[in-house]
A and B are shown apart, each in its own frame.
Chain A
Amino acid sequence: MTEDDAPTVRRSAGEFGGAPARSSDDVVEATSADGDDASRDDPGGSDSGDRKDGSGSDQDPADETGNGATGDSAEEAGDHAAGDSAEEAGDHATGDRPAGATTVEASRLSSTDHWLGIAAVTFLTAGLGVLTQSRPLFLAAVVGVGYLAYANATEAPEPSLAVTRAVTDPNPEPGDRVGVRVTVTNAGDGVLPDLRIVDHVPDALAAVDGPARTATALRPGASVTFAYTVLARRGEFTFDGLDVVARNVSGSRERALELRTEPTTITCLPPLDATETVPLHGLTSPYTGRVSTDSAGEGVEFASLREYQHGDALSRIDWNRYARDGDLATMEFREERMATVVVLVELRKAAYLQAGPDGPHAVDRSIEATRRLFNSLIDTGDRVGVATLAPDDVWQAPGAGPTHQAEVRNLLATHPTLSPTPPSDRVYVPGYLRTFLHRLADDAQVVFVSPVPDRTSEYVARAIHVRDHPVTVISPDSTRTDTPGRTLAAAERSNRLASLRESGLRVVDWDPEESLAEALARGRRRWSG
């Protein structure tokens, strides 16, 4: 048994910085002596106990860190919480990871008032029993007491659940019906007498068959399965949440939980759209000829020489050349050749459109485009920022470093403004523009991502362009031509885009059937051709 233990133990000793060549007994002493390390590894002391006994538990020390897992005692069987394994990724010999680990996002315990007032049975019968000296009534009062005790006897259980989800087609066509099957297992060792489960269907998807809910009572180890159908639409949707209400058997107390489960994704996108970046080919025009008068700092590399123009800073003149040839030439540095770009996403209520009932949401496409444009522009060395035209405006100033990139990616993934549901407030556009233009650096360009649903978008794009910030418009097309109204709207939008082109803006009309890369390529042909 010691043989089996030794590798396990040695690994943990390594963690604590102990020499691996010690005998296993010594190491065991060390691990139990190491106050907080042992407790981090081992909530109940059971693990070091195992090692001492040589009972050969095949649990890695990594198992015991129950980060965010529900009902830890249940997890001893070798379950890991999702957060866990990422940390200990290298350590596992046997990845004994069951499907369906869940973490608890939110939990609320409360009284249901279900049995409130049951004491009235007792009081009423006892009172009348006294007044009428009736034994049957006294006995009825006993029943009341029994129920009163029953109502107050138990607490709502804390469920420990494993949830797995299966989807009939993870890559459907728009308009397909996709079946979702959810299995919930009681992974704890207590009975769950009253479990009410509601699956989180992604906001943009509709369930067209069967409620995404079920109710059951589960013994430890038992599971329940329920299934429903969703209508697929363009985009990428992740199923990763579950709402659970667990009550005690009398129904007097309940615990409402929001669980996060392992994600299952349905992707309904053209294959080329799966990339993270898009080829840009001159989407932005790097400013040439604009020399900043600030002195260049460190990390700015020499890029090229050009002819001296009146007004260039003296510090930028290549004096060596002048000394040699008598020519005045100005040095240009790489930083100045980098473009400063702000990607402005339109998130006004009017922009929340979809191209027909199974078409993609314009906002989904806009945010997707923003993300990929950001990635691509950063890759080409530009300084990129992100802003939103929304009631709750967001401004992330242009930058280039890894921190900045991480911040923006996080913003695009989680900020509440970038949500699939439309805002209820309106944007006061003139005020917004003032602030926006004020924040915008002099040489910044703007990429405006918007379906251009009305005159306001046109106005915004033009207003920015006119103030010497070249604007490129990327417009996801949310129009259809299957009804007269929609056809008219399509024509109207076409006119708007044409009008913007006339004013000198570059416009990319992004058709729902093509990938962003194709749309950009098409646009580029127009600009250079």
Chain B
Amino acid sequence: MTGVEIVRRPARRSLLVPAVAGTAATTLVAAGSSAGALLCALGTVVLLAGVASARHGLVDGGGLVAFLGIVFAATNGATAGPVVFGTTATVVAWDAGGNAISIGRQLGNRVDSTRVEVVHAVAGAAVGLVTALVGLMLFRVGPTRQPVTTLFVLLLAAVLLVAALNR
């Protein structure tokens, strides 16, 4: 075989976004619950290992564990802000990690994929942030007057509608 045989793994650079997002999630819940933060950190490490070795399974697993860390913190009394933004951060890390692997597999690690990865990550982060902010606003502005049940009913309605559209 002659010619450059590409290495089908993400470039080092692709570790940056998931690392930053994962760290953000960890720090957000550290204040509320150290156990939760620990889980979150562990999940992030596994996720990063998954990106480095181009294994989707590790990224998924790590993302799930990190998210469970957030959930754990929420059940142990963390406030709304950190929980919501922590969730967003975890999803962003998982999203960027999975995307990096697909780029690595299709293009190898010597392609400068910065632009494409940044666009993808920023869009994902934007979606998460906007929904988080909307949620928080509704939480503070509106429904302190509303019983939890109403919120829940609305939420469930939204879930069902989107699940119906789910591909």
CB–CB under 8 A between A and B in the complex? yes
> In residues 97-113 of chain B, which contact A (Cβ within 8 Å)?
98-99, 102-103, 106-108, 110-113
Q: Verify if A486 is at the interface (C-beta below 8 Å from B).
A: no
> In residues 125-156 of chain A, which contact B (Cβ within 8 Å)?
125-126, 128-130, 132-152
Q: A195-B116, A211-B6, A217-B116 are in contact. Are A143 and B107 (CB under 8 A)?
A: no
Size category of the B interface is: 35 or more
Q: How far is the CA of A491 from the CA of B131 in the complex (A)?
A: 78
Q: Is the CB of B83 within 8 A of A136?
A: yes
Closest to A123 in B: B159
Q: Verify if B38 is at the interface (C-beta below 8 Å from A).
A: no
Q: Is the CB of B166 within 8 A of A148?
A: yes
Q: From the candidates A140, A151, A215, name the one contacting B111 in the complex (CB within 8 A).
A: A215
Q: A137-B71, A150-B127, A211-B111 are in contact. Are A122 and B60 (CB under 8 A)?
A: no
Q: How far is the CA of A231 from the CA of B1 in the complex (A)?
A: 13
Q: Is the CB of B155 within 8 A of A140?
A: no
Q: How many Å from the CB of B14 to the closest CB on chain A?
A: 11
Q: A140-B87, A143-B91, A146-B130 are in contact. Are A121 and B67 (CB under 8 A)?
A: yes
Size category of the A interface is: 35 or more
Q: Is the CB of A142 within 8 A of B166?
A: no
Q: Is the CB of A136 within 8 A of B113?
A: no
Q: How far is the CA of A198 from the CA of B6 in the complex (A)?
A: 12
Q: Is the CB of B116 within 8 A of A216?
A: yes
Q: Is the CB of A215 within 8 A of B120?
A: no
Q: From the candidates A140, A142, A213, name the one contacting B74 in the complex (CB within 8 A).
A: A140
Q: How many Å from the CB of A338 to the closest CB on chain B?
A: 46
Closest 8 interchain pairs by CB? A146-B131, A206-B3, A142-B135, A136-B83, A136-B80, A206-B2, A215-B113, A139-B135
Q: Which residues of A contact B (CB under 8 A)?
A: 111-112, 114-115, 117-126, 128-130, 132-152, 193-196, 198, 201, 206-211, 213-217, 231, 245, 249-252, 357
Q: 15 A-B Cβ contacts within 8 A?
A: A121-B87, A123-B159, A137-B74, A139-B84, A140-B83, A146-B128, A147-B124, A196-B106, A211-B4, A211-B6, A214-B112, A215-B107, A217-B115, A231-B2, A249-B119
Q: Known contacts A122-B162, A124-B71, A193-B120; can you find 18 more A-B pairs with CB under 8 A?
A: A115-B95, A118-B91, A119-B159, A124-B67, A125-B71, A126-B156, A138-B155, A142-B131, A145-B131, A146-B130, A146-B134, A196-B116, A198-B107, A207-B3, A214-B107, A249-B119, A250-B120, A250-B123
